[in-house]
Structure 1
Amino acid sequence: MKDSPYPAKKVPTGNRLRALGFALLAKKEYSRSDLKQKLLAYGADLDEVETLVEELAQQHYQSDERMAGMLLRSQIRQGRGPARIKQALKKHDIDPELAQQEYDEVDWFQQALSLKIKKFGSEIATDPKQKARQIRFLQYRGFAMDVIMKVVNYKGEEDFY
């Protein structure tokens, strides 16, 4: 690549790296780990990136706690259960404790029930194959087995409330 018609890419440093960090955070919420990886992909120096990410976190431009809450709400809207949400938090290298308060406020039974009704209707499945299908569906979505069994056998309001 000696005589490339394209100019060589400049590696972002200093104010250029800072502007890039702000530009990334203006578009989307990132975890510390994700932001660091994103900035390193531009060829920036590791020490400089770590310093910048730490500074952005101290000034509250970047927050793993905010990212955890946003990710939790997003996953719930997509019909995901506790196990899948913890998996998503781990993927973004976020401590699940950061979203624990919001996590504890969620009624997982109600989430699973509304998901089951949306997909299969409100009737209780009597056919073992249909019941197994519902169980597999809710397991894949990340719900615990005790919640799944309550949802699959749920008859109405008088059952659990």
Structure 2
Amino acid sequence: MKQSAYEAAVGLLSRRDHGEKELRSKLLSKGFAFEEVTDALTRCKEYGYLDDSRYCELMLRNGINKGWGPQRIQQSLKQKGIADSRIQEMFLDLDIDWFEQARVTAQRKFGSQVQRTKDRQVEMKEKAKRFRFLQYRGFDFEQSNYALEQLSL
């Protein structure tokens, strides 16, 4: 007997949380009809199995635990199909010091003390490398600069 879209959705949600857009995409790629997928998602929402707010919070916490900055987390949430308004709402409710988060991330990656060298060019290359790392992680210029100053580089 063929599995229904609802059963497939519940199976996917039992493994991990999904955003609505992500779950819709997965179900459609499995060959389910659009109407059947829409009905399945509606049922999942009614039963509380599918909740974009909960999913957004989970993704936000995971990003923070991974040492990501606000820009990287926002980009990840957008890619998962979370609405900009919901992302902004989540960030407004968030009580986190992104400058301190950048410092902790840099310290975890590079250690607490910087080895001073007489070669200024080598020192500048190292600072640029660390700065790029923090920007890749999603921290802005000011946050990255603060973190590196705290590590005395």
Instruction: Give me the TM-score of the superposition, normalised by structure 1.
Output: 0.79
Could you tell me how far apart the structure 2 residues matched to 1:34 and 1:149 are?
35
Q: Which residue of 1 aligns with 2:52?
A: 64
1:113 corresponding residue in structure 2: 103
Equivalent in the alignment of 1:78: 66
Greater relative CO, 1 or 2 (CA 8 Å, sep 6+): 2
Aligned 1:1-161 pairs, distance under 5 A: 10=2, 12=3, 16-95=4-83, 96-97=87-88, 99-101=90-92, 104-123=94-113, 127-154=123-150
Contact 1:79/1:115 (<8 A) preserved: yes
- Checking the alignment, whether the CA contact within 8 Å between 1:124 and 1:152 is kept in structure 2 is no
Q: Which runs of 5+ in 1 are unaligned?
A: 1-8, 157-161
Distance 1:111 1:131, change over 3 A: same
Which entry has the higher C-alpha Rg, 1 or 2?
Answer: 1
Aligned partner of 1:150: which letter? Y
What root-mean-square deviation, in Å, do the aligned CA atoms of Structure 1 and Structure 2 show? 2.1
Give the Cα separation in 1 of the matches to 2:151 and 2:73. Answer: 28
Conserved 8 A contact 2:107-2:151:
no
What are the ranges of 5 or more consecutive residues in structure 2 without an aligned counterpart?
Answer: 117-122
Per the TM alignment, residue 101 of structure 1 is displaced from its structure 2 partner at its CA by: 4.5
Residue identity opposite 2:98 in structure 1: W
Structure 1 residue 121: Cα displacement: 1.9
Normalising by structure 2, report the TM-score: 0.83
Q: Give the partner amino acid of 1:99.
A: M
Say if 1:135 and 1:148, in contact at 8 Å, map to a contact too: yes
- How much does 1:59 deviate? 2.4
- Residue 118 of structure 1 deviates from its aligned partner by 1.5
Equivalenced residue count is 143
Letter in 2 for 1:149: N
